[in-house]
């Protein structure tokens, strides 16, 4: 059974309104803070869920690696659940934990997929609702000089999807242990003589650095570079996970464990450690390393859901992606390029240069007659 959250006043389905930061009912107009509602869905969803094919989807119980392997072997890529509102069959893939019923439009929470090891510890609720996401998309499109005619259409806007993306938030520590030499070069000119002086200093840098909440998306089908492009998230808004922020949005569970991503997190820590070192030697004109025993310690991670607006679209056989940080409004993506606009711009520029050339030639010949 796919669960929904019901309005205490009329029994209608509640959706989380990112602008109001409340769960709202479109039938009676009721609005409720998430903490005002009971945890009924969570209590029901802690049990095994009955699937429409007559089998039971077991909740994994083991290490993340064992759970991922078990899920891959025992659960088909597409699983059917019954809509709690109209009784229709809802088809979802094995990573989906919040979706919508295609028949009645009701939000559907596949809550048992967010329990035990797959239960997030934290969540950042959406701050940007659909209207703001659409406005951000329009602004982004206008920044593309060669955006195709008609690209900003209702058909494309329908593809804009609010998704809680699974992330591992890594805490990374690094020990800086560096020795080297730094040169400071000065020059002094007297008359026609310039004297250059180089002073060399010993450099020693030691210390421990800590970077908290380095976000790495934990789903293979999401582009890593796109997610990094919409950083940073403001982790002051990070709260304990509460499923009541999900209705009205899609949500997925991870298919990459923290162990799968630890090497990537360590590489980020190593990059940050180098950046911290460079900050301390800006006054030197040249730096030479004699010893570098700096290292990044094994990272630790917590599981969280972070808000992202997505759009994927095809243009001339190519797939393009747009993403917007659902908390900060930061956008990223690669807009398609219209060859028609490029050709039009070429002829416009050609005409402008032709007029300019005509004026210049006329002036050179003793006057210009239009």
DSSP string, 307-357: EEEEEEEEETTEEEEEEEETTT--EEE-----HHHHHHHHHHHHHHHHHHH
- The CA R_g of the chain, rounded to the nearest whole Å, is 28
| pLDDT value, residue 100 | 59
Distance CA 148, CA 313 (A): 13
| pLDDT value, residue 161 | 87
Q: Which helix (H) or strand (E) holds 196?
A: strand 193-217
DSSP 8-class letter at 118: G
Structure tokens at 120: 């997030």
Q: Tell me the pairing of strands 300-315 and 161-190.
A: antiparallel
| pLDDT value, residue 45 | 44
CA-to-CA dists, residue 166 to 116, 219, 247, 251, angstroms = 15, 7, 16, 8
Number of Cβ within a 10 Å radius of residue 133:
25
Q: Which residue do the tokens 């499923």 mark?
A: 243
Contact 174, 273 (CB under 8 A): yes
| pLDDT value, residue 178 | 96
CA trace torsion 72, 76, 77, 83 (10° rounding): -130
Distance CA 103, CA 83 (A): 9
| pLDDT value, residue 234 | 95
Distance CA 16, CA 242 (A): 12
Q: Which helix (H) or strand (E) holds 263?
A: helix 258-280
DSSP 8-class letter at 129: -
| pLDDT value, residue 77 | 53
Contact 246, 109 (CB under 8 A): yes
CA-to-CA dists, residue 353 to 300, 349, 350, 360, angstroms = 60, 6, 5, 10
Structure tokens at 14: 């509640």
Structural domain boundaries in the chain: 161-337, 338-370
Q: Which helix (H) or strand (E) holds 49?
A: strand 49-50
| pLDDT value, residue 250 | 87
Q: Which helix (H) or strand (E) holds 67?
A: helix 64-74
Burial 260-299, CB ≥16 within 10 A → b, else e: bbbebbbebbeebbeebbeeeeeebeebeeeeeebebeeb
- Sign of torsion, CA 103 15 229 119? negative
Under-50 pLDDT residues of the chain: 42-61, 68-76, 88-89, 103, 345-346, 369-370
Backbone angles phi, psi at 80, to 5 degrees: -100, 135
């Amino acid at each position: 059974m796919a669960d929904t959250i019901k309005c205490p006043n009329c029994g209608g389905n509640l959706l989380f309104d990112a602008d109001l930061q409340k769960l709202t009912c479109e039938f009676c107009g009721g609005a409720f803070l998430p903490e005002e509602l009971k945890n009924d869905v969570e209590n029901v969803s802690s049990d095994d869920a009955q699937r429409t094919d007559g089998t039971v989807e077991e909740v994994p119980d083991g290490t993340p690696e064992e759970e991922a392997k078990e899920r891959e072997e025992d659960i088909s890529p597409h699983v059917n659940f019954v809509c709690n509102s109209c009784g229709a069959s809802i088809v979802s893939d094995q990573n989906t934990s919040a979706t919508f019923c295609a028949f009645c439009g009701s939000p559907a929470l596949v809550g048992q997929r967010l329990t035990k090891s797959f239960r997030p510890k934290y969540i950042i609720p959406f701050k940007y609702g659909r209207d703001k996401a659409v406005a951000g998309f329009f602004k982004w499109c206008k920044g593309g000089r060669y955006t195709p005619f008609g690209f900003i259409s209702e058909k494309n806007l329908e593809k804009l999807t609010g998704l809680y993306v699974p992330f591992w938030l890594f805490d990374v520590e690094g020990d800086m242990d560096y020795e080297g030499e730094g040169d400071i070069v000065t020059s002094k000119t007297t008359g026609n003589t310039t004297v250059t002086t180089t002073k060399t200093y010993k450099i020693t840098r030691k210390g421990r650095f800590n970077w908290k909440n380095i976000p790495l998306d934990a789903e293979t089908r999401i582009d890593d570079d796109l997610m990094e492009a919409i950083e940073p998230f403001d982790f002051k808004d990070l709260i304990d996970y509460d499923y009541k922020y999900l209705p009205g949005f899609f949500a997925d569970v991870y298919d990459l464990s923290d162990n799968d991503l630890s090497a990537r997190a360590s590489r980020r820590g190593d990059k940050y450690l180098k950046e911290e070192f460079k900050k301390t030697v800006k006054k030197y004109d040249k730096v030479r390393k004699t010893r570098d025993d700096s290292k990044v310690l094994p990272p630790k991670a917590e599981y969280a859901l972070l808000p992202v607006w997505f759009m994927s679209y095809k243009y001339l056989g190519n797939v393009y992606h747009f993403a917007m940080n659902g908390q900060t409004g930061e956008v990223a993506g690669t807009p398609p390029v219209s060859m028609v606009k490029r050709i039009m711009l070429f002829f416009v520029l050609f005409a402008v240069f032709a007029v300019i050339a005509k004026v210049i030639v006329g002036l050179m010949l003793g006057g210009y007659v239009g």
